[in-house]
Amino acid sequence: MSENQHPVFNRAVIALAGNASDTRIVHLVAELARPIRAEIVAVHVVEVAWSQPLDADIAGRSEQVQQILDEAEATAEQSKVRLDPVLLQAREVGAALVDEAIERAADLLVLSLPYRKRFGGDFAIGRTIPYVLKNAPCAVWVVREPITEESS
């Protein structure tokens, strides 16, 4: 990197959704992080219903949750990058991601967006991404999945 260039990011928080997009965004960020030695934190947020106590051990008992974090670590290892896996429980995923980005002093937050349509054919973006785009103190990348035959 030349003297006038600055790294794209020094510390990135990646939001893991527990779907096929996780591998895509972990690989993307890992490949960009390796040459600049940036830190990567992968966060999976388990949403806790308002009817349950926030400290109920929902995520700790789930093998699937641990598998999501393990797969993210393995993907980063393939790119020869270290990834710090984090599991959170929260009422709202977006708020938890923004809080983690603030706490970690991240300069990049990366989320995936599945290509989904609502009933009636409108493209669905959900609640989390608008919240993060409005409230994150750092750059935000949203990586949308490619359109497949089933989704069009």
Q: Which of 138, 47, 54 is nearest to 99 (CA)?
A: 138
- For residue 88, the SS3 value is strand
Instruction: Assess if residue 4 is contained within a domain.
Output: no
Q: For residue 88, report the phi and psi dihedrals to the nearest 5 degrees.
A: -125, 150
Q: Determine the pLDDT at residue 29.
A: 97
Q: Determine the pLDDT at residue 2.
A: 47
Q: Which residues share a beta bridge with 12?
A: 40, 108
Are 45 and 96 spatial neighbours (Cβ–Cβ below 8 Å)? yes
Helix axes 93-103, 128-135, angle to 10 degrees: 30
Banded pLDDT at 121 (limits 50, 70, 90): low
**CA geometry: angle at 122 spanning 120 and 123, to 5°?**
145
Please tell me the total count of domains within the chain: 1
Instruction: Assess if residue 20 is contained within a domain.
Output: yes
Residue 66 belongs to domain with CATH number:
3.40.50.620
User: How many angstroms separate the CA atoms of 117 and 142, rounded?
Assistant: 17
Per-residue pLDDT of 32-55, as tens digits, reads 999 999 999 999 998 887 777 667
Instruction: Assess if residue 152 is contained within a domain.
Output: no
Instruction: Assess if residue 148 is contained within a domain.
Output: no
- For residue 104, the SS3 value is coil
Per-residue pLDDT of 64-90, as tens digits, reads 888 999 999 999 999 999 999 999 989
Instruction: Note down the domain range covering 56.
Output: 11-128
Region 79-103: mean pLDDT is 95
Instruction: Assess if residue 136 is contained within a domain.
Output: no
Instruction: Assess if residue 69 is contained within a domain.
Output: yes
Instruction: Assess if residue 6 is contained within a domain.
Output: no
Residue environment code for 56-88, b if the CB has 16+ CB neighbours within 10 A, otherwise e = eebbeeeeebeebbebbbebbeebebebebbbb
Instruction: Assess if residue 135 is contained within a domain.
Output: no
- Name the DSSP class of 20: T
